[in-house]
Every structure is written in structure tokens, then in C-alpha cells.
Amino acid sequence: MKKLIAAALALTLVGLWSVTAFTAPAKGKEVRPWRAKVAVPKYEAHLKYRGVSPSSLDNYAVGQSHIDAAWKWRLAQTHKKVFNTFSHAVAVMEREPDFVFAQSQAAFYEWIELEHPDLFARMVEMVKRGQWELTGGMWVEPDGNMPDGEAYVRQRLLGQRYFLERFGRMSDMEWLPDTFGYNRGLTQIVARSGGRYLWCKKITSNKNTIFPFHL
């Protein structure tokens, strides 16, 4: 288990997304193979330092989509992005029984429920099958620097209550891939509202406030 955790840390350090050479369907050409040439040696070096061989690891990939509820587009466009993403994910699940997709932000689920009930019914079925993972018990993914404790509690209340009422269970994993900071009380709030895990990405990105704990 310690080796697997160390491997996961190494993947985080070099960015597994950088290792993957993406393929453009139209032209069939690798878009970013140069990233693999840079990242793979770093990845292997981190594993070697921790006494882990890449060939001894099992890699699991879970589909997910980070969608900003509001960014450089209008809210109506977010609704379209959510519909396109969710409908495509369900279509892949129906075609590929082994495909698993994780999605946060209960607000998006409610949009689909109200605007596209047929798609929502298919999503409910995929949750039952175990192909659709309910992640992120908050109503929307917040900027972690701005909300106070009360706002976090209400976010979790609204999000987890929606999941419980519509899907019969709450999410056990909070999902914050794109926030640039974290409230000190966040982990306790998550733990006391049905969460067991906190998935985050940018916790070591701050150059001024260094995260003190490493595996």
C-alpha cells in the first residue's frame, strides 16, 4: 500500500496528463508527444527513488469532466456544456460497460433533471450500475479561498441532500480539482457531512505558503 501511495504521489508531481500523448481523431496525429518525452523520465525517476517499478503497478483510469459553472462564457453556455458532456458520457457507458465516469457539482445534475429528464433517467440507471460515480458533495465547486465555514456547510448540505434524495446515497468523496486554496476547516466539514475522501490537485502549487505534509 505504501508503494502504491508513493506511486500516486509521483504521478501527481509530474502530472500524468502530461505523459499521455493525445490523438486528434480528424488527423490521427499525436498532439503533445513532446510532453511524454519530458515527463516519462521524471515519472520513472520518482518511482525508482521510492523503490517502485512501473511494471509492478496497476493503473486505473476514471473519466471525469471539470466544468466551471461560470467563467469566460455566459451561464446558458454552461448549461449546453453540461448537457453535451453528460449525454456523451452516458452514451459511452451504454456502449462500454467497463467505462466509469465521475462527476461533481449537484447543481449540474439538477439542471439535467429539469431540462432533460430523459437523460437524467439514464444517469440514475448508470449510478445504480456503478458506472457513474457521484463525487463532490457540494452544490458547485467553489473558490476555496473565499467561502467561510457557514458557506461550506450550506454547500455540503444542499449537494449531499440532493444526491441522497435523487440517487439514494451521498457522495463519499469531495472533489476540488481547480481551487487555488483551501479553508482550514474544510476537511472536518467534509468528514462530518458524509465524506471520507478529499480529492484535490493544486495543494502544492503555492510558492509562498508551502504545504508541509508529504508522503
Pick the CATH number of 63-200 from 3.20.110.10, 3.40.50.720, 1.10.260.40, 3.40.50.300: 3.20.110.10
Active-site option among 68, 118, 172, 178:
178
Mean pLDDT of 83-112: 97
List the domain boundaries for the chain: 2-56, 63-200
Cα(207)–Cα(180) distance, rounded to whole angstroms? 12
Look up 118 and say whether it is catalytic.
Answer: no
pLDDT tens for 38-60 read 777 887 888 888 788 877 878 77
Mean pLDDT of 123-129: 98
| pTM (two decimals) | 0.77
Within a 10 A sphere around the Cβ of 16, how many other Cβ atoms? 15
Which amino acid, one-letter code, is at 11?
L
Give how far Cα 17 sits from Cα of 40, 69, 123, 174, 205, Å. 11, 23, 27, 21, 16
How high does pLDDT run on average in the chain?
Answer: 83
Q: Residue 64: which H helix or E strand, with range?
A: strand 63-64
Give how far Cα 33 sits from Cα of 19, 23, 37, 62, Å. 8, 9, 7, 22
pLDDT tens for 142-199 read 988 888 889 999 999 999 999 999 999 999 999 998 888 888 889 999 999 999 999 8
The better pLDDT of the pair 22, 64 is held by 64
pLDDT tens for 67-85 read 999 888 999 999 999 999 9
